[in-house]
Amino acid sequence: MSKPHSHLPLTILFMLAWRNLWRHRRRTLITLTSIAIGFGLAVLFIGIGDGSHNSMIRNAIKLGEGHITVQPKDYLQAPANHKYLSDGLSLSAKLNELNVTGSVAARISLQVLASTASNSVGAALEGFRSNSDQRQAMLQPQLIEGNWIEAGDHRGIVIGDGMARKLKAKIGSKVVLMAGKQGGDSQAQLGRVRGIFDSHVDELDDYLILSDLQFAQYFLAGEGAIIEQAPVTRFAVFLDDPDTMAYWKAQIKSVIENDLVVALDWQEMMPQLVQFIIIDDVGNYVFLILILIMVVFGIVNTVLMSVLERTREFGLLRALGLGRQHLLLLVFCETLLLSVLAVIIGWVVGGGTHWWFSQHGIDFSALMPEGTAMMGTFMDPVVYTELSWDRVTQLTIIIFVTTLLSGIYPAIKAARVTPVEALRT
């Protein structure tokens, strides 16, 4: 043994650490329980947040312009009636060739002035294939009066209850829709109210006028479009699997995008909704930080207490020939094991809680009597918690790193023990 040095094999290190962890069984169990409960709550809160946000997003996409929208390039910045896709026919053919797994809806959006004998209000005329569009699926069940627009009904319109009140319109009422033309003239078409819906989303109820695509195309014709080319404002692409959005967006871009036409995803179409969700998430992160602080205190308290009451033992081990680094490692291993256990138990509790609420949902309708509408969309009143794999890894890493960081101080404390002082006590 020319230059002898000490060995502390990992197996022995972990064996010591594991046994030390269970010296105060009750204390360790209490710590683990509190971490697990905190973690379960964090998973639940984040699951509720993600669940409600995803519900809002799904509804916003259904009510709005799909996962991916194909429309004139500058439409989003400055919508105008004269901005439309004049050759809807060939664009539609190109989109069909892609065989998108989902549906493609042709739509026309126009800013109009709606007038009855009693009143005039600004409105958004939305023309679509009235018997096959997502909007039908969303809004037909919300009809409170009258009927949906039948196929081939060129004059029928459906309006929200807010609009109906302002216009004093009833089923069968005539409504004149007037739109400015690019040149400065104006054009008008006559619509007849077939149905009135109440979506509880004020932006829709007060402002929306629904019609068949053909009715709206009359206005585009007035702007100079050729009806035979099937002019539209946009194509809304609804995907069966939202996770394929990036792929389909790229595909669609590659075939249709040019100087005049763009393909945008829902995040680009609804930046305010994205903002809202980010801000709302901050609340969940604050909660998560509070939980983490609790976890840090739990671990520091448990490990530090056990370090302080073992001062003598550490002194003994140092006298026997363990180096400072061994004590540092030993205490750090104890934290590591505690943190692995905490993460496992935390996931059992958090995962279980999440699973239960993902199946049974949480009914928020009592908490939100004025309805769950916001940002032009709404949240389903019963929220089913959602947890993506990204969240799972994110939470695991956060909790693991936090617990390990909280082990640093007690480990240093243990390494600082000097045998003489420790043994004198």
Which residues contribute to the site for other proteins (CB under 8 A)? Answer: 1, 4-9, 12, 16, 19-20, 23, 312-313, 316-324, 419-420, 423-424
Beta bridge partners of 128: 107, 212
Q: Which CB, 323 or 351, lies closer to other proteins?
A: 323
CB of 341: closest distance to other proteins in angstroms? 17
CB of 9: closest distance to other proteins in angstroms? 7
CB of 302: closest distance to other proteins in angstroms? 16
Beta-carbon neighbour count of residue 112 at 10 Å?
Answer: 25
Q: Which CB, 4 or 184, lies closer to other proteins?
A: 4
Determine how β-strand 186-197 pairs with β-strand 174-180.
antiparallel
CB of 5: closest distance to other proteins in angstroms? 5
**E strands, 55-207, where?**
68-72, 102-115, 120-128, 143-146, 156-160, 174-180, 186-197
**Which residue is associated with the tokens 């009914």?**
363
- The C-alpha atoms of residue 406 and residue 332 are separated, in whole angstroms, by 9
Query: Which residues are CB-contacts of 293 (< 8 A; sequence separation ≥ 6)?
Result: none
Beta bridge partners of 157: 193, 211
- The C-alpha atoms of residue 415 and residue 295 are separated, in whole angstroms, by 23
Q: Which CB, 1 or 366, lies closer to other proteins?
A: 1
CB of 54: closest distance to other proteins in angstroms? 49
Joined together, the tokens standing for residue 46 give 């984040």
Q: Which CB, 19 or 168, lies closer to other proteins?
A: 19
CB of 318: closest distance to other proteins in angstroms? 7
Beta-carbon neighbour count of residue 352 at 10 Å?
Answer: 12
Q: Which CB, 322 or 374, lies closer to other proteins?
A: 322
Q: Which CB, 23 or 168, lies closer to other proteins?
A: 23
Among residues 200, 67, 198, 203, which one has the least CA distance to residue 141?
Answer: 198
Q: Which CB, 7 or 359, lies closer to other proteins?
A: 7
CB of 11: closest distance to other proteins in angstroms? 10
Residues in the chain: 425
